[in-house]
């Protein structure tokens, strides 16, 4: 069998959720949207079922997948519903929903539901993506508060630059949120992963840890709390061929890399069809038998090449870790002009193997 696979450490996932909770007295949504950032939503949710206060997903399809897998905690739809026809399903499966635009408000007020919904009203405090303006927010809150279709109301917003603490933008957004919601009674939720890690004054009643659950830092600098996260995914494969090349020889498509010395080249069963970034530059770090090496040459669909010259003990069959323990995905992402979020979400074709202290299995 082809050796490429992603090893998912569910104990590390539980550690990261519990660590997020330890930073605050708040409750926390475990954000498992986009197939748990590529890690496997059902398996991750089941692993967190004894710990998580609630879960959060992007859309109803993701929520129904969790309900079918036996997840009973509240599940928040972060983008709400896309069509009014979803409202009966939201009622049936006891989902919570964000409301972030006027169309959703009107559909909710006009619906005949029978059972009222738990609604999280989104404030645009400065991200300017979705949500209601500060000027209209209180009026909409009061309108929904009077509706028989609303069981409870909570306020939420989203920080645009919580991972850049020196900019002042998060302080501005927090001040706006506090001013607008000061007289509104209900739970609050403001913090994504960088907010959880770096902005304790903004924690509110509910945290929304996402990328930090999977052990990747949202920061481009060393951060004390982020340093305590454990990587959940190990993307791994093996060396499947070794070439000895003299100086001056090109490697791979486009001849991007030219050997500067006699070079021992390892070929690895991993490529962009697996989700490894095609734009990874020469010098992108990898681990070979636990030792650091680097990519040389352009990443192909099914293979990539790396430098084994200074690793004489490594060769055919050597273990290769593309990211994970000892090599944070954020470092790899920086060499490919992207972010760890995209690396994880782009994972494709490679099987996932789940491990924990209680069991191990594959999908």
Residues taking part in catalysis: 33, 253
Q: Specify whether the CB–CB gap between 333 and 342 falls below 8 A.
A: yes
1 is an annotated ligand-binding site residue:
no
Distance CA 238, CA 332 (A): 18
Element holding 294 (H helix, E strand):
strand 291-294
Pairing of strands 117-122, 150-156: parallel
Residue with tokens 């501005």: 172
127 is an annotated ligand-binding site residue:
no
Give the count of beta carbons closer than 10 Å to the beta carbon of residue 128: 9
Buried b (16+ CB within 10 A) or exposed e, 272-304: bebbbbeebbbebbbbbeeeebbbbbbbbebbb
Distance CA 100, CA 125 (A): 12
Q: Specify whether the CB–CB gap between 264 and 253 falls below 8 A.
A: no
DSSP code, position 324? B
Residue with tokens 């399809």: 61
DSSP code, position 302? S
Reduced to 3 states (helix: H, G, I; strand: E, B; else coil), residue 177 is helix
- Specify binding-site residues for substrate: 129, 301
Would you list which residues are annotated within the binding site? 129, 301
């Amino acid at each position: 069998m082809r050796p490429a696979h992603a090893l998912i450490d569910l104990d590390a996932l539980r550690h990261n959720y519990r660590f997020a909770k330890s930073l605050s007295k708040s409750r926390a949504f475990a954000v498992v949207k986009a197939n748990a950032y590529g890690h496997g939503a059902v398996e991750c949710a089941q692993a967190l079922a004894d710990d998580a206060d609630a879960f959060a997903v992007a859309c109803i399809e993701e929520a129904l997948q969790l309900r079918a897998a036996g997840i009973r905690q509240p599940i928040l739809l972060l983008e709400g519903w896309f069509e009014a026809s979803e409202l009966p399903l939201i009622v049936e499966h006891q989902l919570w929903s964000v409301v972030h635009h006027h169309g959703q408000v009107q559909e909710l007020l006009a619906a005949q539901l029978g059972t009222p919904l738990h609604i999280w009203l989104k404030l645009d405090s400065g991200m300017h993506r979705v949500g209601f303006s500060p000027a209209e927010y209180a009026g909409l809150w009061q309108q929904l508060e009077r509706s028989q279709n609303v069981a409870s109301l909570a306020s939420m917003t989203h920080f645009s630059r919580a991972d850049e603490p020196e900019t002042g933008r998060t302080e501005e957004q927090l001040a706006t949120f506090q001013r607008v919601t000061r007289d509104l009674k209900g739970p609050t939720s403001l913090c994504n992963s960088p907010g959880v890690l770096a902005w304790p004054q903004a924690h509110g009643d509910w945290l929304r840890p996402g990328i930090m659950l999977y052990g990747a830092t949202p920061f481009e600098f060393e951060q004390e709390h982020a340093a305590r996260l454990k990587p959940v995914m190990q993307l791994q494969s093996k060396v499947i061929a070794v070439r000895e090349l003299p100086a001056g020889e090109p490697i791979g498509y486009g001849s991007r890399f030219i050997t500067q010395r006699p070079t021992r080249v390892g070929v690895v069963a991993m490529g962009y069809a697996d989700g490894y970034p095609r734009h990874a530059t020469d010098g992108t770090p990898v681990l070979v038998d636990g030792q650091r090496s680097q990519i040389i040459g352009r990443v192909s669909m099914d293979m990539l090449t790396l430098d084994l010259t200074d690793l004489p003990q490594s060769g055919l069959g050597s273990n290769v870790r593309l990211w994970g323990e000892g090599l944070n995905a954020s470092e790899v992402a920086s060499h490919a002009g992207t972010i760890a979020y995209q690396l994880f979400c782009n994972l494709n074709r490679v099987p996932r193997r789940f491990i924990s202290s209680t069991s191990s299995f594959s999908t």
